[in-house]
């Protein structure tokens, strides 16, 4: 009888393109998402990524944010996936025409309505703190398509930090989980 193990693949990490530091996460940035100053009620999409023709069946999803002002405990940062069958940046993306496939504000006419067309990954329930807040929000997320991008919706009641120190700690990571027959 074969033994089965689970292997952790190389993470895909969206973070600020110019000043992200691996100190808190231990993960190298692979793609861009600019979360600094993301206002309450606003959303941001990350670069479109290629998970590979032979991708992992599932991914752990880890999020880190830094709030400018301590929010009310329990308010959420929401994370979604915009699936696509196309590798072209602005083609075939879920969530409406506002999705360009690159790091940009995700600003459809109504965020609350359009986010329903995205695949919900999970929430980071905030603590009443301005310290970096980190959580694995989904232990096994299975993207339905090879291509896609992360969309972060700030419903935390406060903006995310604007300073470069805060940007160093903010990210979204997909960590591949692969079954391996030993």
pLDDT 10s digits, 85-113:
998 888 888 886 556 678 888 877 788 88
Domain ranges of the chain: 4-181
- How far is residue 123's CA from residue 25's CA, in Å, rounded to a whole number? 18
- Single out the residue of 176, 179, 177 nearest to residue 13, CA to CA: 176
Q: Are 24 and 169 in contact (CB under 8 A)?
A: yes
Q: Which CATH number fits domain 4-181: 2.20.25, 2.30.30, 2.40.10, 2.60.120?
A: 2.60.120
Q: Are 105 and 121 in contact (CB under 8 A)?
A: no
Q: Which tokens go with 49?
A: 């990524």
User: pLDDT tens digits, residue range 9-36?
Assistant: 899 999 998 888 888 788 999 999 999 9
pLDDT, position 43: 94
CA triple 79-85-88, angle to 5 deg: 90
pLDDT at 166 over 60: no
Query: β-strands 31-32, 12-15: how paired?
Result: parallel
User: pLDDT tens digits, residue range 117-154?
Assistant: 999 999 999 999 999 999 999 999 999 999 999 999 99
pLDDT at 178 over 60: yes
């Amino acid at each position: 009888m074969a033994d089965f193990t689970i292997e952790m693949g190389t993470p895909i990490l969206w973070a600020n393109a110019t000043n992200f530091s691996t100190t808190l996460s231990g993960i190298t940035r692979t793609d861009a998402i600019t979360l600094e100053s993301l206002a309450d009620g606003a959303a941001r999409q990350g670069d479109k990524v290629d998970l590979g023709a032979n991708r992992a069946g599932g991914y752990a999803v880890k999020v880190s944010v830094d709030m400018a002002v301590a929010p009310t405990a329990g308010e959420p940062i929401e994370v979604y996936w915009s699936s696509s069958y196309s590798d072209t940046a602005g083609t075939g993306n879920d969530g409406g025409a506002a999705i360009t496939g690159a790091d940009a504000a995700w600003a459809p006419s109504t965020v609350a309505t359009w986010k329903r067309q995205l695949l919900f990954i999970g929430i980071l329930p905030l603590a009443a703190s301005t310290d970096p807040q980190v959580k694995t929000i989904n232990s096994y997320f299975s993207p339905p398509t090879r291509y896609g991008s992360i969309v972060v919706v700030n419903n935390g009641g406060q903006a995310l930090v604007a300073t470069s120190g805060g940007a160093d700690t903010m990210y979204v990571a997909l960590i591949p989980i692969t079954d391996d027959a030993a």
